Amino acid sequence: MLNIGFIILFSGIVGVGGLLIWMRLMGMLEKIDQQWLKSFHCVYENNSFKRAAEFLCLPTSNVSRHIALLEEQLDTRLFDRTTRRIAPTEAGEHLYLRTQPLLDKLNEALTEVTQHSRHVVGQLNVLMPDSPDLAQAVVSFCTQYPSISLCCDTSISPKEDPLDGFDVILSFHRGKLEDNNWIAKEIKRWPSVVVASPKLLQTSSKPFKITDLKHAPCISSFTALNGTPWVFKNETGEVITQRVKSAFKVNSGQLAKAGALAGLGFAILPAEFCRDEIDTGSLEVITLEYKPEDLVLYAFYASRKHIAKKVPMFIEHLLYQANLDAQK
């Protein structure tokens, strides 16, 4: 039975029209598990049972079962399935469009209420690089806050809006960030250097200016994917870019360093990350007229009026861990 206080609260959020729709749904919702709807929305938004299962941290068979049970309860097919793709039916489109605004408003209302609670619970969805240091920070967060369920995705998201479906996105960047509606919080900064192996310097001319890199083999990493130029800074901090040619493009600092050690090309790496190799002579620092821009780890999250407590708690924990690492 609906709590009268909840009805008053919800009517103020969605209006009388939205409340009437919601109340009509409530009779049926008594027979529908909330997780079924959650799985339905996730499959709809990802166009994939597999990706939805990964996002929800559930076996794919569970997600398929949720959809089957929902279709059975509603007595209608919600998705057309083929061996290659799935697509929502007209009923599926209608269900999503009518329930999504209501669920969004309900989540906002619950978030507002939990602002006054000392005990933080719920699921935190994070998109992040596959990094050993980040892994340790995330694990320590889970240990410290066992009531928060953490779902981490380390894939490179192709979505137009990467924040769609995630509470926090952790990402490495060099130089100026693009303008968008996200809030960006700097977590950690690494001064960087251009390095090369002695083996490479035996066959390639040593560059002295950043323009010399146009004719040298280079290893593109992190934000240098998709043809993004290398980023440098002058003495006043002004950003200067230089396009380079690369036959070895990676999205991993470990791979970039391995490629540099093997003589596959010049690379920009955090100095801290290759200090041992520089000390032993396995890598040599290449001094140019401009220094590489620092590598920065940012935490991105949506700019909303009410942010669930778990988001700033997670970001503050990352900052705390970064400060601990800096003191070692």
Residue 286, token pair as written in the block = 């290449």
Q: For residue 281, is pLDDT > 90?
A: yes
What's the confidence (pLDDT) of residue 178?
77
What's the confidence (pLDDT) of residue 111?
61
Q: For residue 92, is pLDDT > 70?
A: yes
Measure the CA–CA gap between 303 and 179, rounded to whole angstroms: 13
What's the confidence (pLDDT) of residue 16?
43
- Interstrand relation of 245-249 and 182-190 (parallel, antiparallel or unpaired): unpaired
Instruction: Map out the domains of the chain with their CATH numbers.
Output: 4-114 (1.10.10.10), 122-189+296-327 (3.40.190.10), 192-293 (3.40.190.290)
Q: For residue 27, is pLDDT > 80?
A: no
Q: For residue 148, is pLDDT > 70?
A: yes
Q: What confidence category does residue 66 fall into, taking pLDDT thresholds of 50, 70 and 90? A: very high
What's the confidence (pLDDT) of residue 5?
43
Measure the CA–CA gap between 2 and 24, rounded to whole angstroms: 12
> Which has more pLDDT, 291 or 154?
291
What's the confidence (pLDDT) of residue 21?
44
Q: For residue 49, is pLDDT > 60?
A: yes
In degrees rounded to 5, what are phi and psi of residue 86? -125, 155
Q: For residue 159, is pLDDT > 70?
A: no
Other residues' Cβ atoms within 10 Å of the Cβ of residue 79: 18
Measure the CA–CA gap between 146 and 121, rounded to whole angstroms: 9
Mean pLDDT within 59-81: 89
What's the confidence (pLDDT) of residue 50?
85
> Which has more pLDDT, 304 or 84?
84
Mean pLDDT within 276-284: 96
Mean pLDDT within 278-287: 96
Q: What confidence category does residue 100 fall into, taking pLDDT thresholds of 50, 70 and 90? A: confident
Q: What confidence category does residue 328 fall into, taking pLDDT thresholds of 50, 70 and 90? A: low
- pLDDT 10s digits, 198-228: 999 999 999 999 999 988 999 986 544 444 6
What's the confidence (pLDDT) of residue 30?
65
Q: At what angle do helices 4-29 and 90-114 cross, to 10 degrees?
A: 150
Measure the CA–CA gap between 80 and 104, rounded to whole angstroms: 26
Mean pLDDT within 309-318: 90
What's the confidence (pLDDT) of residue 112?
64
Q: What confidence category does residue 306 fall into, taking pLDDT thresholds of 50, 70 and 90? A: low
What's the confidence (pLDDT) of residue 81?
83
What's the confidence (pLDDT) of residue 192?
94
Measure the CA–CA gap between 277 and 60, rounded to whole angstroms: 43
